[in-house]
Structures are given as structure tokens and as C-alpha cells.
Amino acid sequence: MLSLSMIVRNEAQRLEACLRSVRGLADEMVVVDTGSLDDTIAVAEAAGARVEHITWPGDFAPARNAALSHVSGDWVLVLDADEQLRPEAIAPLRALMAQPDVLVINLLRYERGAAMAPYSRVSRLFRRHPRIRWSRPYHSMIDDSVQALLQDEPQWRIADCSEPALIHDGYRPELLQGSDKASRLRQAMEQWLEQQPGDPYACAKLGALEIAEGHQERGLSLLRQGLASLEADPDANTPDANSVSERYELLLHLAIALSASDPAAAIDAYRQALDLPLDTRLSLGARLNLAALLMQQERLDEAIQLTLTATQRAPEVALGWYNLGLMQRRRGDIAAALQAYERALHLNPEHAETHQNLAVARLLGGDIDAARSGFREAIALLHQQGRPEEAQALRHQVEGMVKLDEVRA
């Protein structure tokens, strides 16, 4: 028997889709509400979930631990309202759950809107065991309790589901606007670093946030501090999955931060990240970013090979195909560029830049009508997405090449 465990507050808009996605796997759905003021409770009950209530304890780990007390299944799947289970993952998950020595199943999660890291690995499916508990601030996890449990009960093992299992909408730009995620993350990580100076996990999260908000010096300092802590760890020569993931995240954000000011150092950091024993999907951000940096240096052969590997291993990620199109066009292979752009457009039809670059490739290939249509679509999408200045600039850019007729800028 599998129980779904959720903590929610004011999630009426997204909850039903999440609950619907697990109906083929979950035998019990338990939604723990922490004080919703919208129709969350009604939506949950209408979908067949049992609703429990707690007062918000101030952080996710104690809330998730409280939620665990309300489930009864042998296995527990923990989701947030902005996540959905992919139907393709249900069969492989059932097969892993049937193996008697599996304690935890790591899930691949597709991060919509997170171009720098399209995939993450989360430990969200596990046997209900009294010693498995959530810990750490903000991005709570069970990893610490699981590692301690494995020391005492070595008969268990952790399995990885190779099929992407979850879709996460939480990092889509339009959903982040107006949210307080960044401020809550900053507060939680600052407090954690006061208690655990140099903690690689907190240094990675807070360092990346500092870089994203333009605080380059402190961001770089935190990222390097986290890497130094990993190097000083007595178990550095035999890293576990957590330290590998932390090292990757630190190196990825270090490379991103250095790309403009010190591309050679950025390339070195990306290569170190790719040398880590991670699933190709989990290292997709480093692979695509390294390829893009190499393209800027006209090192097209290596850039294309890296990107081809990305598209082969994760063909569902539009960014890989889009970048491949840019590289093939720069190399002069218009036919290959067209194919790549078309794959990208099929996966993400609202990406204005793909329409624009596909139009350029079609123009270079002599298909003027198709190019005109592509430019029109790109300009229309830019307007729809609230980017009128970019739409105007694109219109002026192409006016001398293609007559756009009545396209309004």
C-alpha cells in the first residue's frame, strides 16, 4: 500500500492536477493543510483525499514530519502541490517498490523554467520507517536520517528510478513573480550557516542566490567556501550521493558566475562538474552551459558533440535542441539547424527565440514565405509575453530582409 503525503496552504489552483496524477499509484491520499484561506480543502476532498490540519510550525521539515504521522501505507510518496507524477514512471516505480531490500527510491524531477538545471534528484518515495525523518531548513530532505539508518540496518539499499518521475512547475518565471521564495530561502540558509559554518548545501543554495541577485563577490566566496568544506571532509575520497550532488551544484554555479569574467576558469569548473558520477540528466545544465561557452569561442566540434549527447540522453528538453540549432547554423549546416530548431519548437512552441532563429535558418535556406511567417510569430509572441521593446527591435532588424506586411509592433 502506498500513501501520498502532502502539506499545503492556499493551493486550490494547482492541487487537483497533482492529486489526479497519482491516482494510478497511490492507495491513500493525505493532504495536511496548514491554514488555507481559499478552496484548497474542498478541492482535496473532491479529489478523494483525506484532509488533516496542523498549525504551520515555521519550516518544512517539522511540517513534513507531522504529516507522516497521518499516513498508513507501507510506502510514502511526498509531493508538493506544484508537482505532478508522470504516468510513464508508474510501472518502473512499482517494479522498484516490489524489491524487498529497497528502502528509498530517488526520483528524477523535471524542473520547468529552470534552464540552468532542468533536472534534479529528490528522495521522495520511501518505506514508512519510524527512523526516516525530514531535516534541514527550507528544502527539507530525509537523507540525513536515511544515512544514519543504513549504518544500523545495512540490509537496506537506495535505488534510483531512471525514468523521469516528477514534473515541477515551481521555477517557472511567471509563477515566481510576486512570490517570496527568494527571501524565505535566504533567511533559512543564513540561519543554517550560522549554525553550520561552511555547510556545502547551504553555501550552494545561498551562493547561487547571491549570484542571481548580482552580489557576485559574496556569491563566489560562498561557493568556494562550500567546495573547501567538501575537500576538508575526511570522507572526501569516498563521497556519498549527497556530497556528489552538492559538489556538482557548487561547481555549476561557480562556472555560471565566472563565465563572463574568466571563461577559462568557468570551462574548468564545468569540466569538473561533468567528471562527477551523475546521471546525464542531472548534469545537463553543466553540459549545455559548457557547450554554449565553447560555441562562443568557436570550438564548434566539441560544443556540438556535448549538445548531441544532451539531446540523445534528454530528448524532451527543448533547450538542448535550440542550442544545437544555433551551433549547426554557425557551422553552416542549415539543414541540421532546421531540424534542431523544429524539434525545439515542437517541445516549446511559445519560445519566441526559437521562432526567430528558425526563421533566419529558413531565410538562409531560401524559404522566404516560411521565414516571414516565423518572424511574425516571434514578434507576436514577444508582444504576448510583455516584451514590446524586443518585438520592436526584431521588427526593425528584419525589415530590410523580409517584408512583414501588416505585422504590428
> At which of 151, 174, 197 does a domain end?
174
User: Is residue 174 scored above 50 in pLDDT?
Assistant: no
Range of the domain at 209: 180-278
pTM of this structure: 0.84
- Determine whether 290 is exposed, middle or buried from the number of CB atoms within 10 Å of its CB (0-12, 13-18, 19+): buried
Angle at 247 between CA 201 and CA 156, to 5 degrees: 80
* All cell numbers assigned to 309: 549527447
150 and 184 assigned to the same domain: no
Residue 167 within any structural domain of the chain: yes
Task: Report the half-sphere exposure of 93 (CA within 13 A, side-chain side).
Answer: 28
Adjacent-strand bridge partners of 102: 157
Structural domains in the chain (count)? 2
CA-to-CA dists, residue 290 to 238, 266, 385, angstroms: 26, 8, 28
Q: Is the pLDDT of residue 176 over 50?
A: no
Tens digits of per-residue pLDDT, 209-244? 899 889 999 999 999 999 999 998 877 667 777 789
Question: What CATH number corresponds to the domain at position 91?
Answer: 3.90.550.10
Residue 197, classed as helix, strand or coil, is coil
Asked if residue 156 and residue 235 are part of one domain, the reply reads no
pLDDT of residue 181: 63
Q: Per-residue pLDDT tens for 50-93?
A: 999 999 998 889 999 999 999 999 999 999 999 999 999 999 99
343 within some domain: no
Residue 390 domain flag: no
Same domain for 164 and 193? no
**Residue 200 and residue 163 share a domain:** no
pLDDT for the residue numbered 134: 95
Q: Is a pLDDT exceeding 80 seen at residue 46?
A: yes
Q: Which three cell numbers stand for residue 15?
A: 492541487
pLDDT at 170: 64
Kindly state whether residues 82 and 226 are assigned to the same domain: no
What is the C-alpha separation between 101 and 131, in angstroms, rounded? Answer: 16
Question: Can you tell me which residue has the cell 527550507?
Answer: 138
User: Comparing 137 with 369, which gets the higher pLDDT?
Assistant: 369
**Cβ atoms < 10 Å from Cβ of 84:** 20
Q: Are residues 200 and 71 in the same domain?
A: no
Domain membership flag for residue 202: yes
How confident is residue 273, by pLDDT bands cut at 50, 70 and 90? very high
Local confidence band at 180 (pLDDT 50, 70, 90 cut-offs): low
CA nearest neighbour of 358 among 349, 369, 371, 376: 371
Residue 248 sits in the same domain as residue 263: yes
